[in-house]
Amino acid sequence: MAKQPETPEQALAAPKKNKIKVIVLAAVALIAAIALSVAATLFFLGGSTAEPEQVQESSSKQKAIYEVLAPAFVVNFKSEGKPRYLQVSVALMARNKADLDELKIHMPTLRNQLVMLFSSQDFEELNTPLGVELLKQKATIAVQELALIEVGKPVVEQVLFTNVVMQ
């Protein structure tokens, strides 16, 4: 029996089917390789989880030290043509007493930066809990930047607002 000659459509359809098969096989192989990689990673790392490191880190972490900045910061600014006042009592939380003592030498510069930060705020934004939290984060960043410049390390882990009064 003689083989029938292929029509042009049949001739074009055969290579397309082969290309699709190759693409599907390549995709399956890629997915299998990824799955094997993930499985091997989990197998090798499964025996040594990060939990002991976290426990060790938290137990070796030094106790918090607090430095209250007295007197409280009082700044004024205008809002809608009215004079407004902000009073903030601040405490610095650190973990190393020697570093904190070294930062205390620069307390006038630190207080100046915080006064400038507090007085540049928008009264309406500060009237929300989110606004006060953002200000606290900005204060922490400002103090850490100053500590990096003056002491060579961030020193202060967090700036805490122990009292905030606005009127």
**Interval 79-88: pLDDT, tens:** 888 888 999 9
53 and 135 share one domain? no
> Does residue 2 belong to any structural domain of this protein?
no
Which CATH number does the domain housing residue 139 bear? 3.30.479
Q: How far apart are alpha carbons 91 and 160 in whole angstroms?
A: 5
36 and 73 share one domain? no
> Does residue 3 belong to any structural domain of this protein?
no
109 and 150 share one domain? yes
- The token pair that represents 28 in the structure block: 């399956």
Range of the domain at 43: 8-58
Residue with tokens 């042009």: 8
pLDDT tens digits along 95-132: 999 999 999 999 999 999 999 999 988 888 888 899 99
150 and 113 share one domain? yes
Q: Is 161 exposed, middle or buried (0-12, 13-18, 19+ CB in 10 A)?
A: middle
What integer pLDDT is reported at residue 56 of this predicted model?
A: 45
Q: What's the Cα-to-Cα distance from 162 to each of 38, 68, 108, 110, rounded to whole Å?
A: 48, 9, 20, 17
27 and 103 share one domain? no
Residue ranges of the chain with per-residue pLDDT less than 50: 47-59
> Does residue 101 belong to any structural domain of this protein?
yes
